[in-house]
Amino acid sequence: MIPAYLRQASITTARIFFGIGIMGIGIQHFIYSAFRPVILPAWPHWLQTPVLAYLIGVAIVAAGALILLGRNKKNVSLLLGSFLLFCLVFIQCPYILFGQPNSPAHLGLWTDPLKELALSGGAFVIAGISANSPKQATFSVIEKLVPFGKFFFATTLLLFGIDHFFYTEFVATLVPAWVPDHTFWTYLAGVALIGTGTAIILKIRRRRIALLASAMLFGWLILLHIPRAMADPYGAKGNEITSVFEALAFSGIALGIAVMQKSVMNNAAVTVTSTKAVAVN
């Protein structure tokens, strides 16, 4: 449990991590003149134009910057979460189900959609720990999705943990070379992810588990993702760089869940008029 005197600093840290992660993903749209797979797949073809990629990139960078700077962060987070959820439901999922040649039963095909689900949930989590000024209106309809943000994120962690057992040989290659017994660490990480996702969904010491998950994900960022990005910054159009920003955002999301007030976490509608969240029954 985070002490009360550290709560505001933790909220700020969660917001900064998430904002930087989102900004980084958005900036890559300009570097490669194409959508990042975590945002939109290479389908449908009529969407795959540099102009649209730039426009979406601008919007994502702007959203990340506003969240990072704390400017109208609640409404921006709500809009970002809604946009990512829209892309997931109406583009990512149809592509996996109907637009690509492989069986959608392969869990590995759902990696990018699941990441987008986590980022969408993360945006709602950030909205849940953010406060509007009294003069700022809130998107009350979208705000009803805030309590579901933690479940979106937890679902991704749970299924990624299962991936560690379905695709052990591949995942083991991601473990740093200097670490002994890659298979053991692959299984251990899988258990940790499954346990974290399950605990958040079932409300089993949710805040403590989320705090530990934030530290775990940040550790993976330092020990795994950053070294891999430095070793191969351009492969697959900067995929390892994308993973760095995703891991940073995920760490921030988990921290956000750890500090989210119960009234926000458990109620379907929440109005924030100051730094305190008040549940609307």
Beta carbons within 8 Å of 241's beta carbon, 6+ residues apart: 24, 28, 229, 233
Give the model confidence (pLDDT) of 230-281 as tens digits: 999 999 999 999 999 999 999 999 999 999 987 666 664 444 333 344 333 2
Is 0.85 surpassed by the pTM of this model? yes
**According to the model, what pLDDT value does residue 175 have?**
95
Q: Which residue matches tokens 């709602």?
A: 124
Between 270 and 40, where is the model more confident? 40
Whole-Å CA distances, 37 to 29, 81, 255: 10, 17, 25
Whole-Å CA distances, 161 to 21, 102, 239, 274: 22, 22, 20, 38
**According to the model, what pLDDT value does residue 261 have?**
84
Comparing 50-54, 62-66, 206-210, 274-278, the range with the smallest average pLDDT is 274-278
Whole-Å CA distances, 174 to 114, 136, 159, 167: 19, 45, 17, 12
Percent of the chain with pLDDT over 70: 91
Percent of the chain with pLDDT over 90: 85
| 202, 171 contact by CB (below 8 A) | no
